C-alpha cells in the first residue's frame, strides 16, 4: 500500500508541475529604449509589443497608427477603427512574435483596407 501511495504522490507532483502555466513577465516599454530614452520603432518586434504592459502597447500602437496615417496624409482619426486596428495588431503580434511591429501594422492595415474595399493609390 505504501508503494502505491508513493507512486501516486510522484505522479501527482509531476502532473502539477507540468500543469502550471508559464507566465511571462510584462516589462516597461522603456526597457527597449536607448541610453537617451528613444525607441527605434523600426526595430521593435511583436514579441516586445506583446511583452509590454497594456498601456505601453496601446501607446505604441497609437504612435504607429499616427505614423502610417501621417505618411498617407490623413488628418482624421476614426476612433472605432483605430481601437479595432490596435486590437488586431496586438493579436497578430502575439501570433507572430518574430515579426517587426512595423510589418505587423502594414499587414493589419492592408487587411482592414481590403475588408472595407479601400484601394491604395500607387
So what's the pLDDT on residue 1? 55
Instruction: Give percent of the chain above pLDDT 70.
Output: 78
Decide if 15 is inside a domain: no
Decide if 11 is inside a domain: no
Decide if 17 is inside a domain: no
Close Cβ partners of 48 (under 8 Å, ≥ 6 residues apart): 32, 101
Decide if 33 is inside a domain: yes
Number of domains comprising the chain: 1
Decide if 31 is inside a domain: yes
Q: What is the pLDDT of residues 40-97, one digit of tens each?
A: 999 999 999 989 998 998 888 888 888 888 887 888 888 888 888 888 998 999 999 9
Decide if 121 is inside a domain: no
Q: Which residue segment(s) compose the domain that 46 sits in?
A: 24-116
Inter-CA distances, 52 with 26, 92, 119, Å: 5, 15, 33
Decide if 35 is inside a domain: yes
pLDDT above 50 for 17? no
Decide if 93 is inside a domain: yes
Q: Which pLDDT band holds residue 15 (cuts at 50, 70, 90)? A: very low
Please report, for the domain that includes residue 77, its CATH number: 1.10.890
So what's the pLDDT on residue 24? 56
Amino acid at each position: 500500500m505504501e508503494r502505491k501511495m508513493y507512486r501516486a504522490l510522484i505522479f501527482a507532483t509531476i502532473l502539477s508541475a507540468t500543469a502550471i502555466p508559464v507566465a511571462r513577465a510584462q516589462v516597461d516599454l522603456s526597457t527597449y529604449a536607448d541610453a537617451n530614452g528613444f525607441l527605434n520603432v523600426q526595430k521593435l518586434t511583436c514579441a516586445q509589443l506583446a511583452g509590454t504592459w497594456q498601456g505601453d502597447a496601446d501607446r505604441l500602437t497609437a504612435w504607429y497608427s499616427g505614423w502610417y496615417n501621417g505618411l498617407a496624409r490623413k488628418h482624421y482619426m476614426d476612433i472605432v477603427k483605430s481601437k479595432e486596428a490596435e486590437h488586431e495588431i496586438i493579436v497578430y503580434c502575439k501570433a507572430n512574435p518574430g515579426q517587426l511591429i512595423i510589418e505587423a501594422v502594414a499587414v493589419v492595415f492592408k487587411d482592414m483596407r481590403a475588408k472595407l474595399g479601400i484601394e491604395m493609390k500607387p
